[in-house]
Structure 1
Amino acid sequence: MDNSTLYDIQYLSRELNLSNRSVYYNITSISKKLIKENIEPPKNIRGQGYYLSNESQIKLKDKYNFHKKVGIDVKSRRNIIIFLMIIDSPLNSISKLSDVLDVSRNTILNDQKSIRKIMEEYGLNLEGNIKGHHITGNEIKIRDLIQKNFSMLNSVLDWMIESERDLVKEEAKSVINLKALITNWLRTVEESKYISFTEDGKNSLISYYSVVLMRILNEHVLRKDLTETSNLRHQKEFGWSKDLFAQLGLEDSKYVSEIFFLEKSLLGVQKDRLGTHVNYDIKNILIEVTQKVIENFKKLSGLYFKNEQQLSNDLYVHLISTFYRVKYKHQYTDNLVTEIKKDFFDVYTFTRLSLKPFEELNVAQLSENEISLIAIYFGAQIIYENNNKVLLVCSAGLGTSRLLKSQVESYFPEIRIKGPVTKNEYENNFMNLKYAVVITTIPLDTNGSNNIIRLSPIPTQNDISILRKLFIRKKVISSSRIENKFSAIMDIISDFTKINDYGKLSRGIKDILADNGGTNMGDNSKYKGTQRLDDLITKDTVKFEQNNVNDWRAAIESAAEPLLKSGNITMEYVHSMINNVEKNGPYINIGNMVALAHAKPSEGVKKLGLSLLHLNRPVNLLDENHPIKLIFVLAAIDQKSHVKAMAELAAILRDKGKLNQLIGAENYEQIENVLDDSKQNKTNPK
C-alpha cells in the first residue's frame, strides 16, 4: 500500500503460507472486487511480479481510511521502553518517550508502573532521575534479563531501524555497529581453523552481546571475580575475548571480569566443528560421557541407530558447548525447541532419562530446552533411511535443521536426506552436485533453479503438501504415494482455496473414505479392486443442465439423480450432503467452479459411485465468493475402491487447461475426451 515494490507469486506464497495456485486465486478474487469498486486491480509485470498503481493506492487509502496512523500495541510499546532503558538511551525521559511513541505522558507513566512489576520478577528495580528511568540492580541479573528476552529485543531493534524518527534511528545504529564489530571478530576467530560455530549460535551471541556491550560502554561493568580465573586464562577463548576488548580500546584492568564473562559466553556458543588442536579440559571426560548417554538411550528405548558413529561425533560436539552453558548459567531459552517435548515426547523422555552421566558433571540441572536440543540428535538418527536425492541446507545451530529433517523423513520414510550442511558448505561444496531437491530454512541464491524449496523448522501441512508435489515432479518419490492416500483430495483443495479449518475438513474427507461399519453396502464384491475415473464417470452418470437449476441445493439434488436412479445411494444421502454444506460452509468447493459433494457412507451409500452435473451458468455455493459450475457427487464405500479415481480427478483439476475444457464442455463426448487424454498421458508419459 505504501510503495511500488513488485511481489512475485513465490514471495507471496512463502509469506502467506499458501500454494502458488491459492495466491493466483486470491489475486483474481481481489481484482474482481476492485473492478466493482472502479479501482484498478493489481498489475503484473511478466517475470517480475505484481504491484498497485499510485492511483489505486490513493483510492484504497481514501476508501478504507488507511491514512490514519496505526499506533503501536501496548506490549510492543513497553518492550521498546525496556530496550531503551537497558541500553541507557537518552530517549528515556517521559517527554521524549511520549513524543517518540506518540502517546500521552500518563500512558508512559502507566507503562513504567507495569515495567516496574516485570523488573521485580527478575529481582531488579526501576529508578528515575532527571535523565529518565533506568533498570538497576545486580548486573548479572540484568544480563539474564537480556538473554531471556533477546528475541524480543531484536524485534525492537528492527522497529527502531525502520522508524521515521532520526533520533530513534541513531540509537539503533549504535547497536547495529556493535553487531557488525562482533560479527567480524567471530569471523576472525573461525579463520583460525581451530573452531567453527553454527549460524544460529553466532546469531544468538551477536544479538545478546551487542546489547551487553552497550551497557559496558555506559560503565555498567562487572565487579572482579577471581573464581576459576586460572583455568579460564589457559583457554584460547580468553585470548580471543581479550582481542575484542582491545579493538574497543578497553584494555584497562577493570575490564578483566568482562573478558572472562565474554569468554564464558563464547565457550557456550554452539559449534558444528572442533579443530584438531582442541584443548578443553573436559574433552576426554565428555567423549566417555557421550558414549554412556548413547548406551543409556539404547537400553531405555530398545532402539538402535543407523549411524551410531555420526551420532556420537555430533552429540560430543554439542555436549561440549552444553557443558559450558550449564556451568556458566547461560542455558538456552528459545521457545521453539520446547515444542519438541510436545511433538516427540517419547524421544524427549528417553533422552532426559539417559542424561544422568552428563548432568553429574555440573551442579545445575539441564533445562527442558537443553534436553530438547539433545533429543533432536537421537530423533534424527532413529529415522535415518536410504536415499541420496535430497539435500538439507540450514543454519544448523539450535538443531532446528535436525528437527526439520526428522519431520520430513517421517512424512516420506522412503527417502534419505543428505545433511544438514551450512550455507557456506552448500555454496562451496554442494551447489554443483546433482541433487533432485534442496530443502533450506534460509534464503539461498536459486540461480534460476526450480528444485530449491524453503521451509520453516516445523513445517505446516501446506508446506508438506507443496514438498510432496516437488518430490513427485523431481521423481524423488512415486506418484502412487498420492494415489494411495486421501491427501490427493486434500492437495487439490489446498491448491484452489484457503482452508479455514483443516482439522474439520480432514476429518470429513476421511469419513467418506472410511468404512463406518454400519453401512449397508449391498452387493459390492466387484468393487474390491480400485476403480478408475473413466469407470465411474460415464454417459449414464453425467448430466447437462441448461437453465433449470437456480441454487446450490437444487444443483446437488440434480447432480445426485444418476446415482439415485442406479441405486448407488438413497435420498438420505442427498439430504446429508446438503446438511453438511449448511453446517460446515462451502468446504466442498475444491477448485475454480468445482464442487465435490459427499457425506458419510453410513448415511445412505449402497454402492460405489461418482456422478457429474455440468451447469450452463454457475450458481453460488452459499455466497458469491464460491460460484460453481461442475458438481461431482461421490458415494464412497471403503478406503480403496475410489482412491485411484480421486487421484485422477485431482490431476485433472490441477491442470488449468483440462479444467477449462471441462468447464467449457457442451456434451458428454467432450468430457470423455478430457478423461481419455488424462488416461493416455498417464499410460504414455512423455
Structure 2
Amino acid sequence: NSKIVSDLAQHLVTTYYRVAYNINYKNPLLGQIRSMYQQTFSFTKVSIQPFIKFTNHEISDDEVSLITTYFSGALYNVDLLNRNQHTPSVMVVCSSGIGTSRLLLSNLSSHFPSVNFIGPFSTFQYENSDLSDVKLVISSVNVPAKNADIPVLVVPVIPTPDDWQTIADSLERNKIIGSSKSTITIDSLMDIIASYARIEDPNGLQQALSEYINQTNFQKATPLTPSTELKARNNQFVSDHHDWLSAIHTSLSPLIKKDIITQQYEDTIINLTEAHGPYMAIGNGVMLAHAKPNEGVNGLGVNFTLFKHPFNLAESGKLINLVIGLAPIDQHSHFEFLETLLKFIQNKDWINQLKVISSEEEFLQLLMDSKLA
C-alpha cells in the first residue's frame, strides 16, 4: 500500500537523524508494546534490517517499538478504510492460517449458524485489526485483550463438548445469541413419565435423560467415514520414555528424512509451543504438530507417532501420547483429511483402542482399519 510506505518513510526520517546523531530515545511503553504487539514487533525488527544497514548503526528496541506503533497504526487505518460493514462479529484467531484454523471456523459456523464469524486471522492480523464491529474474540492461542469490552476466549482447534458449552455460554453472555438452555428440565420429564408409567430405576432414568439431552445439545453425532487421498505414512510406535522436545523430534524425523519438511519446520513448531503454550494439543492426548507451509514444507505429508508413555507437553500438564505431524502445502489440500481425523479423535472407542496398543503392528493395523494410513 503506497500510503503505508509514504507514512512510514516520514517517520523513518526522524528515526534516521536520531540514530545518526546518537540521540537516545527511551520509549516508556516498550514493555507494553512488546507484550501487546509480539508478532508485529518481531516482524518490524526483521523488516528494518535494510534500514540498519543503510544507517550503519544498531537500532535500540526503544526505536523499534516506536516504528512498531507507526507500522501498526498504518495497518489499522487501512483495515478501517477497507471495512464497509459493521455487523456485530466474532473474530476467530489462530497462530497460522492453515486448515486447522479454517476447521475451527467451519465448526463454529456449523454449531452457531446465526453468528457472524470472521477470519481466521493470524495473531499478526489480530494485533493490527480494527475491532469496532467485534463483540468477542475466539482464539486457539493466548492473545492479549486489545479492549476491555471485547473479551478473548481461548479454545482448542478441535473443541470438546465442554468447550462447546463454554463457547455457547460466552456467546450468550455477550448477547451474540439468545439463551440455548432448554426450558425442559429433567425433573419435569420425570414427572410426565411417572404419570404414564412405573419407573423401576428413577436414578438410572434421570442419569440417562441427562446424558441424552447433553449429547443432543452439544455433540452432533457424526459417523466415522473413510479418509481422503491424503494418507499417513512413516508411522511409528515408540515404547521408551521421552520429554516433549525429544518426542517432537522423534515424531517429525521421518518427515525430515523423506525431505517432506526441513529442520526449520521442527524448530518452528517448538518455538510456537514455547511462545504460545500447548495450543497444538487438540484433546484426548493428541497433538497436531503443524506450522505454516512457508516455514519449511517441501511437500504435502502427514504421519502418526504413538508413544506408549505419554509426555508432558511444554510442562503444561497436558499429557500427549499421539503426535500427528502435518506438513501443509496450502490451506485446502489437507482440509478434508482434518475433518475425517476430527471424527476419530472425538470417538471414545477409537481413543480407547489407542490406549491399549502395545506394538507397532497393532498401531499400523488400527490406522489401516481406520483408512488413515
Q: What TM-score, normalized by structure 2, do the two folds share?
A: 0.42
Q: Please identify the structure whose Cα radius of gyration is greater.
A: 1
Q: What TM-score, normalized by structure 1, do the two folds share?
A: 0.24
- The structure whose residues are more often helix, as a share, is 1
